[in-house]
Structure formats: structure tokens, C-alpha cells
Structure 1
Amino acid sequence: MLPSEYTRIFMTGATGYIGGTVMSALLSNPKNDTFEITALIRSAEKAPLFHSIGIKTVIGSNSDLDTLTSLASEADVVIAAADVGDLNAAKAILGGLKKQHEQTKKVPILIHTSGTGVLADLADGNFTADKIYSDLDIPKIETLPKSQPLREIDLEVVAADEEGYVRTYIIFPSTIYGIANTLLVSLGVQNRHSIQIPRLIKAGLARGQGGVIGKGLSLWPSIHIDDIATLYTTVFDAATEGPDETGHGREGFYFGENGEYSMGELSQAVAKLLFEIGRGKNPEATVFTDEELDKYFGIIGRLMGSNSRACAERGRLIGWNPAHNVNSLYASLKPEIEEIVAKQTT
């Protein structure tokens, strides 16, 4: 096979919870033998493990802007899954893709990671919002102000598509759950855990009692880690087939959700499980104080107490079929707690 027949893929975040799962899914793609994958990783010690499965590596991070630009300029597809709130990194990647277009006249692909936090309000757990966003309703999404979390970066990515030097696709994961179990996990190079639910569990363990943000009335969508990975690969497959296979740019928003949960019900479930293992004083969740929110959650506390209501329709139109629902979310809590407790006691 000639080198020109390879799809050159550059990925950031390959050792992360999302990126590592997406990378593992790509390695299972039927067209994997036509991929030439390069990962930007921080640890030189992990490089040989990536090399053992055919992944090239460059040592660096999202703060190495020249490296991001250089690697993006040499890729047919960039999958950005690291430090998704880093505007400078996003601009560096777009700069590299633009440089490539100017030199070759080709139109490379960017699959960028955002999040349904862009839809968040300021509920602080105290009310349920009525507004639900579909990823097919672009005019409604475009009413979101630039001040929303990650929105400024999303707009930068869309603008690049409109300029014509890159085709952009943005994935919006919601609350991701489930312990990752992938090839990269088996190699010891990938983070296995999400952020939001483990943070809630760790806060409950630290205070000796499961807690809830405000009245627990806020609602969020959720998605299993394996299902968000298949959304990436579904979009990847469609994008690499050609520009007419699925929406990109302004119409390239892909929400990742399969069911909605109440923060109050989730918090109560965590509190009950902590009580059952003797790590909570009461099976009923108690309200986190402002001091506890700052201590255990920081800025994520405001996000977790918000409403973020999303309907993922665009991905389903191109064949994405998530296998796990909200029942799987609640089933994931016990093993998550058990693993966190085991790590704290060893």
C-alpha cells in the first residue's frame, strides 16, 4: 500500500478517559490497517507501550503550541480530546490545519471535543429547567452566549469550517460514566475514570456522608464511556467518507447522551451506597455547604448543580446506536465506589 493511501490521524488526550477509549475504538476499526496514528503524550515512559500497538508518539502537551501546529499540519484527521477548555491549543491546531490547506489545497478534518456543559444554567440544584436543546436545532444552539462554558472555542472551530480550510465536527459528551476497560487500560497508559460522578463519590467519602447540591432538582443527560467512543468513531467514519455524508461546521454538532438523570436521585443513590458500606452516617443525602462545594468541587460544583438538557439526534441519523441507558448509570455507581474506596485504603 502506498503511503498516500494511509489516513494520517493525530490525537491529543490519548491517555485520558475519553481519548484512550476513542483510541482503542479506532484500533478496532475495520480500516485500522490504513491508519497512521500519532498521539501527543506527556510521559516518555509510556511511549514504548504505544509503539507496541502501532501508535507513533510525540512527547509534549497542549501547552506546546508549536508542536500542536506542526502535528496538525501533517494530519488528515485531528481528534482533539485533551484539555478541551484550552482556547490557545484549539487555535494552534486550527493554525496547523490551515497551514496544511494553504500548502496542499486539501481540506483536513477536525473532530473536536466540547461538552453539554455549554448548555448549563445557574440553577445550583434549586430548579429544573424546561429548555431542551436538540443538536439538529442549530438556530436554538446559536442563541447561546459566548460566555457559556466552552462556547468561545466551539465558535472558533465552526468559524474555521466556514473559512473552508478544514471540515469540523464537534462532539458534546454529557455526564460520562463507567470504568473504562480498553486496550490502552490493559497497557497501563489510560485513565479509567470520569470526573463528575467520582467527584461526587469522593466528596461523600471525605465528609462521611453522601451529599447533594442544593435541592437536587437539576437535570443532566448521561452517556456510557463506550457509547461516547462509538459516537466519535461513527462521526469519524462518516467524515472520512466525504463532506456530504454528515453535517459539519455550523451543522456539525453531535451531542452524546442516552437518557437523563436527576442530580437529586443520583446523589441519593450514592448516599445510600455509602451508608451500606459504613462510609456514610445516613442513607439520605444532605446538602453540601458552600464551603464544601468549594472544597470538594471547585468550579465543577457550579456545573454539576446546573441544568444541561440535550437530545442527541444528529449522531443517530448516521447510525450511532448507544447501548447503555440511565439504568446502566445507576448500575455503575457500586463498582465505581468500590474501586475508589479500594484505592484510598491501599
Structure 2
Amino acid sequence: MHVFVTGASGWVGRGLVPELTAGGHKVTGLARSDTAARSLRAMGAEARPGSLDDLDVLRDAAASCDGVVHLAFKHDMFFAGDVAAATDADRAAINAFGETLAGTGKPFVMASGMLGVLGLPPGAVATERDGLTPDTAADTGPISGASGRMTNARHALTLAGHGVRSSIVRLPPATHGRGDNGFTTTAISFARQKGAAAYIGDGSNRWPAVHRDDAARLFRLAIESAPAGSVLHAVADEGVPIRTVAEAFAAQLRVPAVSVTTQQAGDYVGWLGGLWGIDGPASARITRDLLGWQPIQPGLIDDLQQGHYFT
């Protein structure tokens, strides 16, 4: 297949492009800078200059390829507080792809966050069937802005009714590995600055996790064979207690692991404070049964213990 990938030079994209090429696929990646284009060519992919705002570029690329993996999202804008603009840009890109791919049967695989389904009742394990209707806890939970992304993901699934083999892959907040610059790296940075690795209360709340390379393999399986309308969970560790994570940070940084209150969390983990106390285990059983996906890379704690996050 010839696959067009947005976000191809980003964190997950840098795992997906080699995964696709090793599987015999040709890859063209959207490149919004010369640096991104050089990175793509170094990985054996072609570069298509443009950004998510260049809708004609997206349409043309989708028309000329056999399938699309949509990883890009304006995270910088989103976390700067312009949530509506970031989600609107994403919706416009999804529409551009959907209009072009309609009636072709070609695959469209979209990355989605899992934070929106971490607002379920305490103890509930999120499955691929959660978050599919707008009246769920996913849209009224504690994650500001998550509902917009969830709405866009549900919209992408509706493309299945228009002759597109659409699917979404939900990524956990801890999508980890060497070179990660996401939530895990941010939490480590706060612990280093504070001189303490914090958890809230008894730290028994859990986060799901996956190694970036295992997630990349799931995206390849999705573009190759996921049925239309599939919701997939890229989850290897169903739920890692945040206390265990903080203790792993502490051991590597040689600082204490400390319990803090919800009110104190911002002093220790900055803007992550609103997320650090969430209990959000998630299952990937349906995904594994559907596509035969089995994670083989180190789990989150094993990855942290390798030390590369702390050098």
C-alpha cells in the first residue's frame, strides 16, 4: 500500500514510518518544515510539504494514496488554551480526508487520545466500547478539552457509513519509549525541578500505558485490516499505579517519592496536577482479539528502569 501519514515526523510517526516500510508499504508524510522533510526522507519516506491547514494538500495526498493515517494534532495550540481552534482544525482535516475517500473503501486510521475516557466511575476499566456516545462520562469528565477530541473521533467513525474503512486508535497518556517528549517526560521534569516525585493520596490511581513501538505496530495492523468503524485501544499496561511510577522516578533521580494532596499537586507536577490523580485503567482485549495485536516491548516501569528518560 501507499500510505499518507500526517504527523509522520512526530513521536508516534517516527515509530510508524519504519514499521510501515518494513511491512512493504510506501509512505508519504506531511511535512510542515524542512527539518520534518529531512527526517522523513532519512526514514525512507517521501515528504509532502504542507500543514493541517492546507486542506487541498490533504485532499490531493489522500486521493493519490491507498490509505491515510492521521496522527497530527495541534497539541501546542491545544495545551496553550486554544482548544476550540485546535479541535476545529482537526475536524476540518478529517472532513477533507472523508470527502476525498468517500466511496473508495480505502482505510482512514485516526489517532485519538484516551484521556477522554478516563473520566469513568472509579474502578471502571475503559474498553473500546466506552466513549462512543456524547452523553457518557468521557464528555463530562475532568479533562478540559477532551470532549472536542472525542467528538472528532466519533465523527471519523461515521465515515464508515460513507464508504471509508475508518477506524480510530486510542493512545494512553503514557505512550513511552526512547525519545518520548510527552506526559512521562513532563512529569519527570517536574520531579527533577521540585526535588521530589509526587503522587496524590495513596497513589493507587492507575494510568494505562504502551510502548511507542507497540502502538506503531497497531497502527500498521489497523491500516492493513481493521474493519470499518473499529475502535482500537493501544494499551499494553492496563493500569500502572501512579505511586509506582513516582517511585520509579524517585529511584532514578535519587529524590524522595512523596504523597501530596490534590490541592498541593500543582506545586509538584505543574499543569499535570489535574490529571495525576485520575484513576483510568483501560483494556485492549477487544483490540487484541480483533487484530491479533500483542505488545512485545517493555512495559512502562521496565522502560523507566532502563534509565534513558533520566540522562
Q: Calculate the TM-score normalised by the size of structure 1.
A: 0.74
Mapping for residues 311-326 of structure 1, pairs under 5 Å? 311-317=283-289, 318-324=291-297
8 Å CA contact retained: 2:30, 2:51: yes
Which residue of 1 is the match for residue 219 of structure 2?
Answer: 232
Q: Which residue of 2 aligns with 1:304?
A: 276
Gaps in structure 2 of 5+ consecutive residues:
76-85
- Residue equivalent to 1:110: 108
> How many Å apart are 1:303 and its aligned residue?
2.6
DSSP 3-state at the match of 1:311 = coil
Kept in 2: contact 1:10–1:78 (CA 8 A): yes
Whether the 8 Å contact between 1:69 and 1:95 is mirrored in structure 2 is no
In structure 2, do the counterparts of structure 1 residues 101 and 16 end up closer, same or farther at CA, with 3 Å as the change threshold?
closer
How do residues 111-126 of structure 1 correspond to structure 2 at under 5 angstroms? 111-121=109-119
* Residue 51 (structure 1) aligned to one of 25, 41, 50: 41
Q: Distance in 2 between matches of 1:70 and 1:147?
A: 37
**1:62/1:68 contact within 8 Å kept:** yes
Q: Does 2:301 match 1:330?
A: yes
Shift of 1:142: 7.4
Q: Which has the larger radius of gyration?
A: 1
Q: Is the 8 A contact 1:196 1:304 kept in 2?
A: no
Other structure's SS at 2:12 match: helix
1:203 maps to 2:193: no
Q: Is the 8 A contact 1:65 1:88 kept in 2?
A: no
Which of 66, 84, 101 aligns to 1:76? It is 66
Classify 1:57/1:225 alpha carbon distance in 2 versus 1 (closer, same or farther; 3 Å). same
Asked if the contact 2:117–2:138 (Cα under 8 Å) also holds between the matched residues in 1, the reply is no
Q: Is the 8 A contact 1:211 1:288 kept in 2?
A: no
Unpaired runs of at least 5, structure 1: 1-6, 123-127, 181-191, 240-245
With over 3 angstroms needed to count, the CA separation of the structure-2 counterparts of 1:44 and 1:270, relative to structure 1, is same
Deviation at 1:304, TM superposition (A): 3.3
Bigger relative contact order, structure 1 or 2 (CA pairs below 8 A, ≥6 apart): 1
Contact residue 68 and residue 89 of structure 1 kept, 8 A:
no
Residues 135 and 255, structure 1, Cα contact 8 Å, conserved in 2: yes
Distance 1:140 1:156, change over 3 A: closer
Partner of 2:82: none
**What is aligned with 1:186?**
none
Given that 1:171 and 1:254 are in contact with CA atoms closer than 8 Å, whether structure 2 keeps it comes out as: yes
Deviation, 1:233, is 1.4
Q: Distance in 2 between matches of 1:73 and 1:177?
A: 31
Equivalent in the alignment of 2:234: 256
* Contact 2:119 2:140 (8 Å CA) reproduced: no
- Give the whole-Å Cα distance in 1 for the aligned partners of 2:246 and 2:268: 18
Q: In structure 2, do the counterparts of structure 1 residues 45 and 155 end up closer, same or farther at CA, with 3 Å as the change threshold?
A: closer
Is residue 2:9 matched to residue 1:11?
no
**Count of aligned pairs between the two proteins:** 293
- Is 1:217 the counterpart of 2:204 in the alignment? yes
Letter in 1 for 2:194: R
Task: Report what 1:242 is aligned to.
Answer: none
Question: Aligned partners of 2:64 and 2:42: how far apart in 1?
Answer: 22
**Contact between 1:39 and 1:55, CA under 8 Å: does it hold in 2?**
yes
TM-score by length of 2: 0.81
Structure 2 CA distance for partners of 1:294 and 1:73, relative to 1, 3 Å: farther
1:171-206, Cα deviation, whole Å (9 max, x unpaired): 0121445434xxxxxxxxxxx214122111110111
